[in-house]
Structure 1
Amino acid sequence: MELKEIVLDNKISLFYIHILQINTVASGVLVKAGTRHEIWPKEAGIAHALEHMRFQGTQLFPTSRDISALIEDDGGVINAWTSGEGTFFWQKIPATAFAKSPLLLSQQLLHPLIPEKKIATEMQNIVQEIRMVKDDPSHFALREFGHLIYSGHVLSRDVLGTEESVTSFTRPDFMNFSDRLYFGQRMRFIVVGNVPELDVVRSFNSYFHDVKASDGSLEENTGNLKTEKREVIHKRQIEQVHMVVGYLLGAGDARSVTALSVFANMIGGGMSFPLFQTVRDKHGLCYQIDCSVDKNKDCSTFYIYVGTNPAKYRDAENLILQIIKECKNNRQLLERAKSLVLGRLSMSYENPASIMQVMAQQILYRGHPKTKVEMIREIESITIGEVEEAVSTYLSEIYQNTLIVGPESLA
């Protein structure tokens, strides 16, 4: 199950893992073209909107139904996502039907129709997506927390854009963004599953031989981050408080961020860990409480989300802060968290799509995916001293950012 980096004839890297024990294969094309590369406000949300339009027909598959049916008729799954850092087009399909994957990916990436007659309809679908997020208080809270914690940086931008910008997009807008960012040096290919290396290389060399090489800019938009204590409250016609408590971290590949990723599992790895046991099981303050780390190329965040009683949301917040302080030097929790992370890593290797998604994220924030052995060694090597230092340095109350969405009567 060795991770290989293969440089194709077009000079683009293909990351490949051959897994003999399964009968499926996951394939994808990652493009470093995300929200941070947009020109705001005119292009707000265009990276995500262009992802949608690449499902609206290609030269060989002229309709959205043709595109989806090619994969789904063999029982496969086809999808894509866009983030602040990039866009990822991917499929999972029986290994016997693998030849369809690079063919369709090349059509979507190199030969999309971007049909003018479909733009207005598809942009209205995105408008509904924007409104859906606004109507869901937990999603709205997490989105607004992103605006808050990354304030001053391009990662604070909403991936979906705005209703005004999305409904203004024209075909020339999409083609301009595509020409500016969809070229070889910004692309990476990923294949994980039971397909021989020779077949993979031949297919991607054949279908992607005419990809543009390097006639665009690799410059990244950034911004100025603010490391200060902030709290924002949104009042709406809802019953619960949806609260996100978080902190700004360094680059996604920093050792301290890895230590804090382990710490997130030390306190929030599951129902037997302190956040659930204390805030929910002992005090009855919530139904859902989650802890996570969002990793990006130049900055990351550690955050905890909780949905709680409006009369006791400060109690929930104080308990969260207490847990952070009390658990940062708990060796037993560290060992439990390591076992949890390593066990879940092992189970993820039963699903090629899960492996592929992790690889895509790692390419975005560190430029290169890690091998399974590298990930295991990295987790095993984290010490309680590193965890305690990272928590003390980054998860200080003086840097705490809190986003609260609550009822209009919230005190």
Structure 2
Amino acid sequence: MDWQKFDTESGAPLWFMSLPHTKNTSIGVLTNVGSRDEKWPKEAGLAHALEHMFFQGSTRSLKTQKAMSACIESVGGVSNAFTDDEKTFYFHKIATGEIARSIKVFGESLFYPRFQKNIIPTQMKIVLQEMADRNDSPDSYLGENWVKKRMAGHPLSQVTIGLKEAIENFKSKKLYLYCRWQC
């Protein structure tokens, strides 16, 4: 089994590998945006915050988080994502016959995100809880602090989760501008 590469109309490469023995398909979108791309301290955690916001609805037909989730989950699929220092990866696992749903969700969430002012504070509270959870985990805490010390002054030393003070002040305009600049 070999990877096949297709060039889309937008110029973005699409990589594909057929696994005929499976009934599910995993689809992902990799963006080259991570914590290293943030201007610290003001933007600390912005890439990760965007990851959360891309699941909250679009300006098109899937206007809410509930509609977006239902599009994938109603046919047994799952959605998730992760952000690190160099990239953000969004992915779905879905029945092979339902690939169009995944493409629709990716298209709407990544190209037409809806940064609703009333949802941002809730999502940022979730990010802050993730930060607290990491700080309560000795291996995460030690690992992040080791990287900060070893890479001090380099963009890769910036903790992906960000800084509490920055996260508490993220607004829709900042998210939108960062998205247009980086995504």
Greater C-alpha Rg = 1
Aligned to 1:38: 38
Q: Deviations over 1:129-181 (max 9, x none)?
A: 11111112122111111212222211111101011100101111001111101
- What root-mean-square deviation, in Å, do the aligned CA atoms of Structure 1 and Structure 2 show? 1.0
Aligned to 1:341: none
Q: Deviations over 1:179-206 (max 9, x none)?
A: 1011xxxxxxxxxxxxxxxxxxxxxxxx
Aligned to 1:124: 125
1:1-400 alignment, distance < 5 Å: 1-58=1-58, 59-182=60-183
Instruction: Find the aligned partners of 2:134 and 2:172 in 1 and give their Cα distance.
Output: 26
Instruction: Find the aligned partners of 1:51 and 1:57 in 2 and give their Cα distance.
Output: 12
Aligned length: 182
Instruction: Find the aligned partners of 1:67 and 1:12 in 2 and give their Cα distance.
Output: 23
Q: Which runs of 5+ in 2 are unaligned?
A: none
Code of the aligned partner of 1:142: G
Q: Deviations over 1:297-322 (max 9, x none)?
A: xxxxxxxxxxxxxxxxxxxxxxxxxx
Code of the aligned partner of 2:169: S
Instruction: Find the aligned partners of 2:145 and 2:10 in 1 and give their Cα distance.
Output: 41
Instruction: Find the aligned partners of 2:127 and 2:10 in 1 and give their Cα distance.
Output: 34
Instruction: Find the aligned partners of 1:159 and 1:60 in 2 and give their Cα distance.
Output: 31
Identity %: 32
Instruction: Find the aligned partners of 1:151 and 1:117 in 2 and give their Cα distance.
Output: 36
Deviation at 1:24, TM superposition (A): 0.8
Instruction: Find the aligned partners of 2:151 and 2:167 in 1 and give their Cα distance.
Output: 22
Instruction: Find the aligned partners of 2:9 and 2:140 in 1 and give their Cα distance.
Output: 43
Instruction: Find the aligned partners of 1:62 and 1:8 in 2 and give their Cα distance.
Output: 26
Q: Which runs of 5+ in 1 are unaligned?
A: 183-411
- Say which structure, 1 or 2, has more relative contact order (CA 8 Å, 6+ apart): 2
Structure 1's consecutive aligned runs of 4 or more residues displaced over 4 angstroms after TM superposition are none
Instruction: Find the aligned partners of 2:164 and 2:178 in 1 and give their Cα distance.
Output: 19
Instruction: Find the aligned partners of 1:114 and 1:24 in 2 and give their Cα distance.
Output: 31
Instruction: Find the aligned partners of 1:138 and 1:11 in 2 and give their Cα distance.
Output: 40
TM-score, structure 1 normalization: 0.43
Instruction: Find the aligned partners of 2:136 and 2:22 in 1 and give their Cα distance.
Output: 41
Instruction: Find the aligned partners of 1:97 and 1:12 in 2 and give their Cα distance.
Output: 22
Instruction: Find the aligned partners of 1:141 and 1:66 in 2 and give their Cα distance.
Output: 39
Instruction: Find the aligned partners of 1:44 and 1:156 in 2 and give their Cα distance.
Output: 11
Code of the aligned partner of 2:90: F
Code of the aligned partner of 1:21: H
Instruction: Find the aligned partners of 1:145 and 1:72 in 2 and give their Cα distance.
Output: 38
